[in-house]
Amino acid sequence: MSGGHVLVVPGDGIGPEVVAVARRVLDWCVAKDLVGLTFEEAAVGGAAIETIGRPIADETVARAKASDAVLFGSVGGPGWDEGPPGTRAGDGLFRLRRELGLFANLRPIRVSPALEHHTSLKPETVRGVDFVIVRELTGGIYFGEPRGVEPAEGGERGFNTMTYTSAEVRRVANSAFALARKRGGWLHSVDKSNVLEVSGVWRRAVTALHADTHADTPLHHILVDNCCLQLIRDPSQFDVLVMSNMFGDILSDGAGALTGSLGMLPSASLGEGTRGLYEPIHGTAPDIAGQGIANPCGMILSAAMMLEHSFDRKDLADRIVAAVDDVLLAGTFTADLAGSGPAVSTDAFGDAVIAALERG
Ligand code: IPM
Ligand code: MG
């Protein structure tokens, strides 16, 4: 039987609540002998700041490196996000991404048939939408130097640096091409090459890689502003999109609106091998934490992505996705999707998913 070891990071806010549900789904798979997984838990983010005074312990990084996958809730919250860079809750996550070499962040945007009528767009616009944003995760303007704030006449001046080398572009574009080929699809590379030099480097590197090793996969270049329009106007035209760190941050939230709720969205952060970190896109949602009403779908679907990418079990991942769809199709919704109708709790949604898996 396939399997391995998973480091589980519940984190802060609604993180522990949704991670508990994803764990129940994975425990069900293990109990049924469908996959062999072992688990251990670690504190990262606010949970670590409260106990060791830092957002992550060196030992946690070492344990992550020794694991086959990291299943991550979410980190941050009032009181943990305001200190100097390096001390904030999110720095625990940034360090894991960096030290594990996770440069490709996969954000699938898939509209469940049950949610076509739960978005602010026309059902026919979102019907069947199924694409993946591949966001570069360890470079770009998030980490570029120089950065800072300095005094300037009349106030201050802030500056950041958007930088990519061809090598950085190639490795993330290579992952995106591989994914597009696996899906039998096509790739859109998103940039702002009509204005930014860094985007010129991006476009040339993707074009060269395409010619060298991925000529069989259709490639389209699209400017980020037009991409933003097209994602809302006609999202079905997309299959896989690759883009820089900040463009991916922005466009993935926008694309999230197509699915009805940010709570639906999973993600996988991958490097060269099969080890990955899997986390929902929603944050810690401090406003609803502790109430047991969070949508666990993004977290459950992140666990499914883990089974697919780190444990080569797409079959099992598909079963979990189908079980979540079944539950939604039956009209079972958490508060974010229920509108004026009845809503179930996070745990009750988990019960329904397990029941759907049992019916299988
Ligand atoms: C995301 C988030 C993070 C990011 C924030 C919380 C730092 O918005 O994962 O999209 O910008 O990467
Ligand atoms: Mg974001």
Catalytic residue among 68, 91, 191, 249: 249
Catalytic residue among 65, 81, 130, 142: 142
The pLDDT value recorded for residue 175 is 97
Best of 141, 249, 250 to mutate for ligand 1, by most ligand atoms within 8 A of CB?
Answer: 249
The pLDDT value recorded for residue 245 is 97
The ligand 1 atom at the shortest distance from the C-alpha of residue 252 is 10
Residues within 5 Å of ion ligand 2 by Cβ? 249
| AA identity, residue 264 | M
The pLDDT value recorded for residue 36 is 97
Domains with residue ranges and CATH for the chain: 1-110+262-360 (3.40.718.10), 119-259 (3.40.718.10)
Tell me: pLDDT of 43 over 90. yes
Check if 90 has its Cβ closer than 6 Å to any atom of ligand 1: yes
Q: How far apart are CA 53 and CA 91, in angstroms?
A: 13
Q: What is the mean pLDDT of the chain?
A: 97
Catalytic residue among 12, 91, 164, 192: 192
Residue 249 CA, ligand 1 centroid: distance in Å? 6
The ligand 1 atom at the shortest distance from the C-alpha of residue 105 is 9
The pLDDT value recorded for residue 85 is 82
Question: What confidence tens digit (pLDDT) does each residue in 270-289 have?
Answer: 999 999 999 999 999 999 99
pLDDT mean over 257-267: 94
Tell me: pLDDT of 246 over 70. yes
Say whether 249 is catalytic. Answer: yes
Instruction: Measure Cα distances from 211 to 108, 191, 205 in Å.
Output: 26, 18, 10
The protein residue whose alpha carbon is closest to atom 3 in ligand 1 is 249
Helix axes 245-256 and 224-233, enclosed angle (nearest 10): 20
Tell me: pLDDT of 113 over 80. yes
The pLDDT value recorded for residue 3 is 85
pLDDT mean over 176-183: 96
The pLDDT value recorded for residue 1 is 65
For residue 149, the cross-strand partners are 158
Q: Can you spell out the DSSP letters for 268-291?
A: EEE-SSS-EEE--SS---TTTTTT
pLDDT mean over 147-162: 97
Tell me: pLDDT of 244 over 70. yes
Say whether 225 is catalytic. Answer: yes
Residue 267: nearest ligand to its CA? 1
Provide the percentage of residues in the chain whose pLDDT is more than 70.
100
Say whether 234 is catalytic. Answer: no
Question: What confidence tens digit (pLDDT) does each residue in 297-329 have?
Answer: 999 999 999 999 999 999 999 999 999 999 999
Say whether 192 is catalytic. Answer: yes
Tell me: pLDDT of 339 over 70. yes
The protein residue whose alpha carbon is closest to atom 4 in ligand 1 is 249
Say whether 314 is catalytic. Answer: no
| AA identity, residue 118 | H
The pLDDT value recorded for residue 32 is 97
Catalytic residue among 58, 225, 234, 318: 225
CA torsion angle for 314, 317, 322, 323 (degrees, to 10)?
A: 150
Q: How far apart are CA 53 and CA 214, in angstroms?
A: 47
What is the longest distance spanned by two Cα atoms in the chain?
68
